Amino acid sequence: MLKSIIRKEILLNLLSYKFSIIIILSTILILVSIFVMYRDYCLALENYEILASDSAAAVIPPTPLSIFAKGLDENLCRAHEMGFGQRISASSKQQSVNDLFKLFTVPDLLYVIKVILSLCAMLFAFDMVSGEKEAGTLRQSLSGSLGRPILIAGKWIGGFISFILPFFIAVLLGTILVTLSPMVDMNAPNWAKLGLFLPSSVIYLAVFFSLGLLISCLTHRSSTSLVISLFAWTILVFLIPNLGNILARQFVEIPTVQQLELRRREIAMGAWQEVNRLELVRDRNARLARARSEGDQVTEEYRNRFDRLVTLSQSITRVSPTAAFTFLATDLMGTGMLEEGRLKNAIVKYMFASGNDEDRGRPRFSYQRTSCREVLGRGGLNNLLILVLFDLLFFAATYVAFLRYDAR
């Protein structure tokens, strides 16, 4: 009986206009996204070759996984060098790879999945129950010996299979076309990360599919279900992730970068004024060392506050499955905040271990991005469990709501 319901749902979806529109739109978006980000990756490689010619700077190549989830990869691939006062900053030679992305959102696969395909998943499921009630077919299905648990399970499985299979085909086709290029060097760790990214995407899309089906079980008209679905999608995808940082700043006060630079400049200027009045070289060196220590203390305090702000902001935004999926996907692809913090620590150790005055004997900076095991061990598994929890919660609520649904 369950197989018959699944087969029926798949056939109905294949013949519906909604299926044709959503599948064609999502397929075009996925393929165009992969192609555009592939061109951006090629530009990033050319930029890296220019920056890597400076042996005094620490720079890493872009990862081919940025084609699928760009994240912070442009910031990660900046050339860092040590300047006055042993301060590590981005090289002045660094240029933006694609200025167009400053005006518009980066159209990577991550954006297509978390925004466009999540909406498509809800549009796929918003009338699966309420629509059948309006058509009168739901009452006929339940008039026989067919049980409600089997019916709702078959609807979910059949509907989600109809939705997710074209997504896999489009991603597989785009991935094959990209990896055939000699510019893209995908090693075994990259394939493993991509292999974890795709199931995570399926779980994320299942969350919104289950939510759309839940809303359909709570309403009796397709128009009402559509409006509520769009409202819920807007809150989860846009409102909560963007409000997380604003709410976190209400609890953690943090100065701006300009205020931090002004404070460090005041410390340096005050130290130089005192140095000019000192006669002994020993006293001058001691005063400069104390000023450097005060500047480092200000910077360290800023970093601690910023880390607390980021942690609190992530905790708040994880109420939305979109935020949890974004954190998980970018960390898996090596373009997230986990990678940024790890890279900064590696650059600091490299610069201070090599010294800032003797660049001739400095070895070239080398860095290996995080592995899948490290990502899962440092918050990635928690984000994945959050997505699974959302999925189970929405499906359980759908199950209970359908058992009490009035099909008359």
User: What is the three-state SS of 12-53?
Assistant: HHHHCHHHHHHHHHHHHHHHHHHHHHHHHHHHHHHHHHHHCC
Backbone angles phi, psi at 106, to 5 degrees: -65, 120
Q: Is 327 exposed, middle or buried (0-12, 13-18, 19+ CB in 10 A)?
A: buried
Band of residue 229 on the pLDDT scale cut at 50, 70, 90 = very high
What confidence tens digit (pLDDT) does each residue in 302-352 have? Answer: 788 888 888 888 888 888 999 999 999 999 999 998 898 888 888 878 777
| 8 Å CB contact between 47 and 95 | yes
Report the pLDDT value the prediction gives residue 116, as an integer from 0 to 100.
92
What confidence tens digit (pLDDT) does each residue in 233-243 have? Answer: 999 999 988 88
Question: Residue range 233-261: average pLDDT?
Answer: 83
Report the pLDDT value the prediction gives residue 357, as an integer from 0 to 100.
47
**Sign of the C-alpha dihedral computed for residues 223, 144, 156 and 26 taken in this order:** negative
Quote the percentage of the chain above a pLDDT of 70: 90
Report the pLDDT value the prediction gives residue 272, as an integer from 0 to 100.
77
Report the pLDDT value the prediction gives residue 395, as an integer from 0 to 100.
94
Task: Say whether 252 sits in a helix, a strand or coil.
Answer: coil
The residues spanned by each domain of the chain are 2-259+295-403
| 8 Å CB contact between 104 and 189 | no
Residue 85 region by backbone torsions, left for phi larger than 0, else alpha for psi between -120 and 50, else beta: left
Band of residue 215 on the pLDDT scale cut at 50, 70, 90 = very high
Report the pLDDT value the prediction gives residue 33, as an integer from 0 to 100.
92
What confidence tens digit (pLDDT) does each residue in 166-203 have? Answer: 888 888 888 888 888 888 888 899 999 999 999 999 99
Report the pLDDT value the prediction gives residue 279, as an integer from 0 to 100.
67
| 8 Å CB contact between 108 and 70 | yes
Cα–Cα dist 204/210, whole Å: 10
Average pLDDT, the chain: 84
Residue 260 has pLDDT above 70, yes or no: yes
Residue 103 has pLDDT above 70, yes or no: no
For the ranges 69-78, 89-98, 107-116, 211-220, the lowest mean pLDDT is seen at 89-98
Band of residue 84 on the pLDDT scale cut at 50, 70, 90 = very low
What confidence tens digit (pLDDT) does each residue in 342-387 have? Answer: 888 888 787 776 554 444 556 778 888 899 999 999 889 999 999 9
Cβ within 8 Å of residue 356, ≥6 positions away: 82, 86
Report the pLDDT value the prediction gives residue 231, as an integer from 0 to 100.
95
Beta-carbon neighbour count of residue 217 at 10 Å? 25
Amino acid identity, residue 7? R
Amino acid identity, residue 289? A
Task: Say whether 211 sits in a helix, a strand or coil.
Answer: helix
The pTM for the full model equals 0.87
Report the pLDDT value the prediction gives residue 216, as an integer from 0 to 100.
93
Residue 283 has pLDDT above 80, yes or no: no
Quote the percentage of the chain above a pLDDT of 90: 31
Report the pLDDT value the prediction gives residue 94, as an integer from 0 to 100.
54
Alpha carbon 324 to its chain centroid, in Å, reads 8
Question: Residue range 62-82: average pLDDT?
Answer: 85
